[in-house]
Amino acid sequence: MLVVQKYGGTSVGSLERIENVAKRVAKARDEGKDLVIVVSAMSGETNKLIEYAHHFSKTPSKREMDMLLSSGERVTAALLAIALNEMGYKTIALTGRQAGIKTDNAHTYARIESINTQRLRNEINDGNIVIVAGFQGINNDGEVTTLGRGGSDLSAVALAGALNADACEIYSDVDGIYTTDPRIEPKAKKLDFISYDEMLELSSLGAKVLQNRSVELAKKMGVKIIAKSSFSDGDGTVIADKGENMEEVLVSGVALDKNQARVSLRDVKDRPGIAAEIFNKLADENINIDMIIQNASENGTTNLGFTVPQSELERAKKVMDSFKEEFGSSDYDENVAKVSIVGVGMKSHSGVAAKAFEALAKNNINIEMISTSEIKVSMIIDEKFGELAVRVLHEAFGLGE
C-alpha cells in the first residue's frame, strides 16, 4: 500500500513538531506502508522570506523569489529525513526537482506539467521513506519554480496521482473540513465528506485549509483526499466525487478571503475595446482578477471596478498608470474582504442570495460588490466586518451544531 502524506507548516512548525511528525511517519511505516511524505516550510517561514525580499524591493524578480521561497521546504524535508534516519528508518529527502516535478514557466505560481516518477519509484523500491520538499518544481529551462501559496497541497495531490497512490492524506492543525473556519466561528461543524466542487469553491473563496489548485487537480485525476490533523487521531474529512445518493445540501460552507483589494476607475472613456485592453494587460502581467463591475455609461464615460489579490495591488496600480489617459480618477482600497456561501443545492433553489443579503443587512454590513455562480454567492464588504459576516451567514443558514 502506497500512501502520500502531506504535513503543513503548523505540523512542522518547530523541532518538537517535526519530531512528532517523524513518529507518525514511523508508525505508518511500521504498519507496512510505502510512504511519500510531502512537507511545507515551518509555519511563518515563507512569510518571513517574503518580508526579507520586500526589505530590498517592492517588486522583486519572481525568479529570485522562487530561489528564495523554495528554500523553506528544503529545510523541513532534510530535517525530517535526519530525524527519521536517527530513529533507524531508511529515509531520503528530495527537492521538487529531484522528485521529478516539471512545471511551466510561471514563476511563483507555476503549474505542474508532468512528473517523472522514476527516481521516486527507485527510492521506494530501495526501501526508503521518501520525503519531498513541497511547493516546488523545475521548469524546462532548469529554473526552480514554486506553485503558489499553500502549494505543498498541490505537490501532494500531484504525486499521489502520478504514483497512483492508495491514499492522499493532508495533515494540518484542524481535524478536517468544517462548515467555516473554526477559528472564526467556534460553532462550525466538521464535515465527514465534501464534494470536489464544493471544496474547490470554498478554497478558491478563501478557505485556505486546502489550496484550490490541489482540489482542482484532485478532481481531474480522481485523487481522493483525506484531510486530517497531525495533532490527533480521527477519520478526518473525505474530499471526493459526490456519491449518487448524496443529499444536496443547500449551503455547505462559508468562506472568508481578506486578501482582497479593490480597484475603482471613474470616468472611464466608454469606447469599444477599452475593457479588453485593460484586462488583457492585467492578464499579461499574470494578475488575477476576481470580481468586475461596470456601471451603465453616462455621457460617454463609465465607472469600472474590480478586485485583485492584495499582493498584486502594486502591480495592478502600475498597469493602471499605463492607462492614465483613459480614465478620470482611480481609487484603491486594500481594506475589503470577500465573504462567500457555497453549496451545490443552490443550483435548484431560489432565494439563497436574497437570504444572504438580508442577513448582512440586518447587521448593517454594506455590500460593495456581488458575484454569483451556480453554487456560490460572493460579496465584497468592508474588511473590518469580515468575521462578523461569516458568523452571521453561518447562523442564517443553520450550519452550526
**Contact between 134 and ligand ADP (CB under 6 A)?**
no
Candidates 94-102, 144-152, 256-264, 321-329 — which segment interacts with ligand ASP by CB under 6 A?
Answer: 144-152
**Contact between 253 and ligand ASP (CB under 6 A)?**
no
- Whether residue 229 contacts residue 167, with contact meaning beta carbons closer than 8 Å, is answered with no
Rounded to whole angstroms, the Cα distance separating 394 from 297 reads 37
Candidates 168-176, 216-224, 259-267, 352-360 — which segment interacts with ligand ADP by CB under 6 A?
Answer: 168-176
**Contact between 150 and Mg ion (CB under 5 A)?**
yes
DSSP result, 143-168: -EEE-STTTHHHHHHHHHHHTT-SEE
Look at residues 101, 154, 90 and name the one whose alpha carbon lies nearest to residue 123. Answer: 90
Look at residues 104, 35, 110, 43 and name the one whose alpha carbon lies nearest to residue 73. Answer: 43
Site for ligand ASP in 112-141 (CB under 6 A): 134-135
Least Å distance, CB 378 to Mg ion, is: 21
Q: Three-state SS for 112?
A: strand
Q: Which residues make beta-bridge pairs with 304?
A: 265, 294
Rounded to whole angstroms, the Cα distance separating 55 from 66 reads 16
> x/- contact string, 177-206, with ligand ADP (CB under 6 A)?
xx-xxxx------------------x----
Select 150 or 305, whichever has its Cβ closest to ligand ADP.
150
Query: What is the separation of C-alpha 211 from the centre of its chain, rounded to a whole number of angstroms?
Result: 3
Candidates 24-32, 148-156, 224-232, 376-384 — which segment interacts with Mg ion by CB under 5 A?
Answer: 148-156
**Contact between 10 and ligand ADP (CB under 6 A)?**
yes
Task: Give the three cell numbers for residue 70.
Answer: 523554495
Look at residues 252, 196, 190, 253 and name the one whose alpha carbon lies nearest to residue 224. Answer: 196
Site for ligand ASP in 152-171 (CB under 6 A): 152-153
Q: Given candidates 253, 305, 343, 386, which one binds ligand ADP under the rule CB under 6 A?
A: 253
Candidates 86-94, 118-126, 149-157, 353-361 — which segment interacts with ligand ASP by CB under 6 A?
Answer: 149-157
**Contact between 176 and Mg ion (CB under 5 A)?**
no
Q: Which residues contact ligand ADP by CB under 6 A?
A: 8-11, 40, 43, 150, 172-174, 177-178, 180-183, 202, 207-209, 253
